[in-house]
Chains A and B, each alone.
Chain A
Amino acid sequence: MWELRDASVRFGSTTALDGVDLRVDPGEIVVILGPSGCGKSTLLRALAGLQPLDRGNVWIDGRDATREPPHTRGIGLMFQDPTLFPHRTVGDNVAFGLRMLGWDRAARADRVAEMLDLVGLPDFAARAVDTLSGGEAQRVALARSLAPGPRLLLLDEPWAALDRTLRDRLTAEIPALLRSTGTSAVHVTHDHDEAFAIADRVAVMHRGRVLRVAPPAELFADPRTATVARFLGHENIVDDGAGRRVIRRDAASVDEQGELDVRVTGCRFRGDHHDVTVASDLGTLRFHLDRGFAIGAAVRLHIDPDRVAPLADD
């Protein structure tokens, strides 16, 4: 189990981490979600020991590991770009961590082959790294990170530089891969769809603080604050006098008996739904409806109260 307790890091006058508490259980995938510059990369580097803490501690399996150097922590690290060792072959890159552990040549070769198989690049061991495509290089980096069997894998927006198809595939494959090896992971991203797809728990970060940690479904249904709600992609944040609420886009249905009168200001067909923007007493709202409307149409909507959540003040 990995833990940050009251972790704080300052760079000059900016606070990158401000009293962060975060726990990662064995085998768990925690996704850190937040805008760029919110301190999520610093949080990863603090876990890895690459960023000294100004205050607070890192605990690993119940012992204080704050001063432990990066190379003894048993960590895998993936950046946005592969950062392969340019002077070594693909196989030597993957074997690097194993050499550090003192594995003999034969065992290393077996493990390298196994890892390259796992990432779908068999027979790549002898290749020079500058002959790889971006996607291949990133998969080699993944194989390199996993080869020594790290207890914790840290992923810093690892797919941001890849094309859409590859990104979707890896997003689908990674959780299964991690679960098969029993590796815990902390994954940093600013894409809430990616976060929901792979996380056991999502931690929302803003200005160096962790605002909320919860399983994705729970978090989405009940974001609690407007800031968190916006990071999760919610747009319908309203104040009806009784307090602030967030209304999910799938909360509305067309209903003559409904309680909300709106005027359609925009409508786009999206295959399995229509993305409809409306003006109402509550302000501009956006819903996914099962039929489309002409601009200017007057419509009455019913809002499912189970898909509305109250928001506290930030």
Chain B
Amino acid sequence: MGRDRARLITASAVVPVGFLGLFFAYPVATVLWRGLGFGGDVALADLLGSGRTRDAVWFTVWQAAVSTVLTVAVALPGASALARSRPRTQRRLRALVTIPFVLPTVVVAGAFAELFVRFGLDDGPVRLRHTVWAILLAHVFFNYAVVVRTVGSFWAGLDGRVEEQARVLGAGRARTFREVTLPRLRPAIAAAASIVFLFSFTSFGVVLVLGGPRQATIETEIYRYAVLRTDFSTAAALAVVQLVAVVALVALANRLERTRPLTQRAGHRTGLRRSRLGGAVNGLGVAMLLGLPILVVIERSLTVGDRYGLTNYRALGTRLTMLPAPATTAIRNSLVYAAVATTIALAVGTIAALVVVHGRGALRHVLDLGLTLPLGTSAVTIGFGILIALDQPPLDLRTTWWIVPIAHSLVGIPFVVRTMVPVLRRIDPSLREAAAVLGASPGRVRREIDLPIAGRGMLVGASFAFAVSMGEFGATAFIPRRPDTLTAPQALFRMLSTPGELVRGQAMALAVILMLVVAIAVLAIESVRGSDEGTF
């Protein structure tokens, strides 16, 4: 590669650095500044002394820990099934379990709330509504895919003959799993678990909807102080607590990921007999956990009184009293914002990925690390930061709808970068050399070699960014409510908070539409994604 091109790439780092600096670093720094008391408020000390905060921090930590343990336990059989299936089945299974993962949090929360109503678990002898159990269930639902995909892909790459050795050396099936398979899976399980913990730790929509007013995590506390009480200094102090915890977690996750062995022998399928009954129980359990909430939502959306019909869907065009605009407007807004956010994420993310892969010196490392931060930082902190930092001229973005897609793209950029970097790294320099020797000019090489290969990565990143934007809830919750900033998840949240059979049906109809849009985006991802590409 020419010197000039390297210099050009390094220079173009201005774009991602500038964008992330303005819309991510500056708002987050503002939160830190105020939270640490430089703005004149000294809320942090008070806050750490208050029992309410201590309770919230404690609850955040333990529910995340329990969610993680439960998810790993429930998903390991799934990972095993994935690892043992044929490549084609493997691709389908991966796509299938990924749908829950990318579903909007509010949709999932609403689905579980509806599930409880449908099966009489909402109230009565067994009450799940507004309990920690509801939150844990939803977290397992969400993160099942993280464990199945991360551990399953790793497992599929392990040489099964090592287990066969253990079997002929006298270890039974259970003992082989405990003594040989589990230790070998440990790096993948640790990596998956740290991601699940992080997601559960920063979970917002699920806790807000399913936990009710009494289950408070750091995230929901920030929201309550900032949005419901407009007590910005306390909210900022809480955000500092959150940031510290998240940075520590991300550092830990990165370390665990680094200890993961990079080279593995190609998997060697084994003929070891597996239990059919176990497989059936596993399949049924997963179908219940992942499928039932979705089915319940679909059924409820089609229920009109004691019959089935499309009335709920038709009613979405009429404005409800708790909404500034009809739900259909919210859907249209969301589609537009998702398109804009995806475009921004793709542009900024692609440049950033190029710098990370081909750039020079310290810059690429700084950018590499800087890009993982928005992924780790909770959406709530980002939204809150934008709310308090970009609120005055010349940068008063609260009055324009642009603020919504910009906030969403911050969540999408890391996804684009994380899918593109491995693809770009994998382009073998000898391919370019071969093309050049065959007479291709540098520009032609880029067009004929780099672009087609990187294009797939871009497409995958784009679909993810789109799905993320469609379902984004945490950051958007902080953006002032006007008809033109109302997104579909926001509308759904407010419909879910309103009691009443009629609103309920319409909420479910809106949820189904959101699910469909996101599922289509994800299935598009899976059809272009090779089986060997990155996990998350």
Chains A and B belong together in one complex: yes
Question: Using a CB–CB distance below 8 Å, which chain A residues touch chain B?
Answer: 45, 48-52, 69-73, 75-77, 79, 81, 83-87, 96-97, 100-101, 144-145, 148, 154
Write out the residue numbers on chain B whose beta carbons fall within 8 Å of the beta carbon of A87: 183-184, 186
B167 and A69 within 8 A (CB) = yes
Write out the residue numbers on chain B whose beta carbons fall within 8 Å of the beta carbon of A148: 169-170
* B161 on interface, CB distance cutoff 8 Å: yes
Instruction: List B153-198 residues whose CB lies under 8 Å from chain A.
Output: 159, 161-162, 164-173, 175-176, 180, 183-184, 186
Shortest beta-carbon distance from A107 to chain B in Å: 15
Write out the residue numbers on chain A whose beta carbons fall within 8 Å of the beta carbon of B272: 50
Write out the residue numbers on chain A whose beta carbons fall within 8 Å of the beta carbon of B270: 50
Across the interface, A52 reaches (CB within 8 A) one of B164, B175, B271, namely B271
A71 and B172 within 8 A (CB) = yes
B180 and A85 within 8 A (CB) = yes
* B273 on interface, CB distance cutoff 8 Å: yes
Shortest beta-carbon distance from B103 to chain A in Å: 37
Shortest beta-carbon distance from B256 to chain A in Å: 16
A100 and B271 within 8 A (CB) = no
Given contacts A52-B273, A83-B159, A87-B184, is CB(A75)–CB(B166) below 8 Å? no
- With the chains together, A75 CA to B168 CA distance in Å? 6
| Closest CB pairs A-B (n = 3) | A100-B170, A97-B169, A70-B167
- With the chains together, A45 CA to B168 CA distance in Å? 10
Write out the residue numbers on chain A whose beta carbons fall within 8 Å of the beta carbon of B159: 83
B169 and A100 within 8 A (CB) = yes
19 additional A-B residue pairs with CB within 8 Å, beyond A85-B166, A87-B186: A48-B164, A49-B168, A50-B272, A52-B271, A69-B167, A71-B168, A71-B170, A71-B172, A71-B176, A76-B169, A81-B265, A83-B161, A83-B165, A84-B162, A85-B184, A87-B183, A100-B170, A101-B170, A144-B169
Sampled A-B contacts (21; CB under 8 Å): A48-B164, A50-B164, A50-B272, A70-B164, A70-B168, A71-B169, A76-B168, A81-B265, A83-B161, A83-B162, A83-B164, A85-B166, A85-B184, A87-B184, A96-B169, A100-B170, A100-B171, A100-B175, A101-B170, A144-B165, A144-B169
Shortest beta-carbon distance from B494 to chain A in Å: 52
Q: Which A residue's beta carbon lies closest to that of B158?
A: A86
- With the chains together, A87 CA to B186 CA distance in Å? 10
Given contacts A83-B161, A85-B162, is CB(A50)–CB(B170) below 8 Å? no
Given contacts A69-B167, A100-B169, is CB(A50)–CB(B271) below 8 Å? yes
B166 and A69 within 8 A (CB) = no
Q: Which B residue's beta carbon lies closest to that of A45?
A: B271
In terms of DSSP, what is the predominant structure of the interface of chain B? Answer: helix
A50 and B168 within 8 A (CB) = yes
- With the chains together, A69 CA to B169 CA distance in Å? 11
Write out the residue numbers on chain B whose beta carbons fall within 8 Å of the beta carbon of A85: 162, 165-166, 180, 184
Write out the residue numbers on chain A whose beta carbons fall within 8 Å of the beta carbon of B184: 85-87
Write out the residue numbers on chain B whose beta carbons fall within 8 Å of the beta carbon of A72: 170
Q: Which A residue's beta carbon lies closest to that of B273?
A: A52
- With the chains together, A154 CA to B265 CA distance in Å? 22
- With the chains together, A235 CA to B88 CA distance in Å? 44
A51 and B271 within 8 A (CB) = yes
Q: Which A residue's beta carbon lies closest to that of B170?
A: A100
Shortest beta-carbon distance from B449 to chain A in Å: 35
Write out the residue numbers on chain A whose beta carbons fall within 8 Å of the beta carbon of B165: 77, 83, 85, 144
Q: Which A residue's beta carbon lies closest to that of B176?
A: A71
Which one of A70, A79, A144, A145 has the greatest number of beta carbons of chain B within 10 Å? A70
- With the chains together, A85 CA to B167 CA distance in Å? 12
A96 and B166 within 8 A (CB) = yes
- With the chains together, A145 CA to B164 CA distance in Å? 12
Write out the residue numbers on chain A whose beta carbons fall within 8 Å of the beta carbon of B273: 52
- With the chains together, A10 CA to B159 CA distance in Å? 23
Shortest beta-carbon distance from A33 to chain B in Å: 22
- With the chains together, A87 CA to B259 CA distance in Å? 13
Which one of B159, B175, B186, B273 has the greatest number of beta carbons of chain A within 10 Å? B273
Q: Which B residue's beta carbon lies closest to that of A86?
A: B184
Shortest beta-carbon distance from A49 to chain B in Å: 8
- With the chains together, A70 CA to B173 CA distance in Å? 10
Q: Which A residue's beta carbon lies closest to that of B164?
A: A50
Write out the residue numbers on chain B whose beta carbons fall within 8 Å of the beta carbon of A84: 162
A79 and B161 within 8 A (CB) = yes
B168 and A48 within 8 A (CB) = yes
- With the chains together, A238 CA to B36 CA distance in Å? 95
Shortest beta-carbon distance from B168 to chain A in Å: 5
A50 and B167 within 8 A (CB) = yes
- With the chains together, A184 CA to B176 CA distance in Å? 26
Across the interface, A97 reaches (CB within 8 A) one of B170, B183, B186, namely B170
Which one of A48, A50, A76, A97 has the greatest number of beta carbons of chain B within 10 Å? A50
Shortest beta-carbon distance from A15 to chain B in Å: 15
Write out the residue numbers on chain B whose beta carbons fall within 8 Å of the beta carbon of A101: 170
A71 and B171 within 8 A (CB) = yes
Write out the residue numbers on chain B whose beta carbons fall within 8 Å of the beta carbon of A83: 159, 161-162, 164-165
Write out the residue numbers on chain A whose beta carbons fall within 8 Å of the beta carbon of B265: 81
A71 and B162 within 8 A (CB) = no
Write out the residue numbers on chain B whose beta carbons fall within 8 Å of the beta carbon of A76: 168-169
- With the chains together, A8 CA to B162 CA distance in Å? 25
Per-position 1/0 for B81-124, Cβ under 8 A of A: 00000000000000000000000000000000000000000000
Write out the residue numbers on chain B whose beta carbons fall within 8 Å of the beta carbon of A69: 167, 172-173
Shortest beta-carbon distance from B183 to chain A in Å: 4
- With the chains together, A79 CA to B169 CA distance in Å? 14
Shortest beta-carbon distance from B444 to chain A in Å: 42
Which one of B168, B176, B180, B273 has the greatest number of beta carbons of chain A within 10 Å? B168
- With the chains together, A51 CA to B273 CA distance in Å? 8
Q: Which B residue's beta carbon lies closest to that of A11?
A: B271
- With the chains together, A172 CA to B162 CA distance in Å? 27
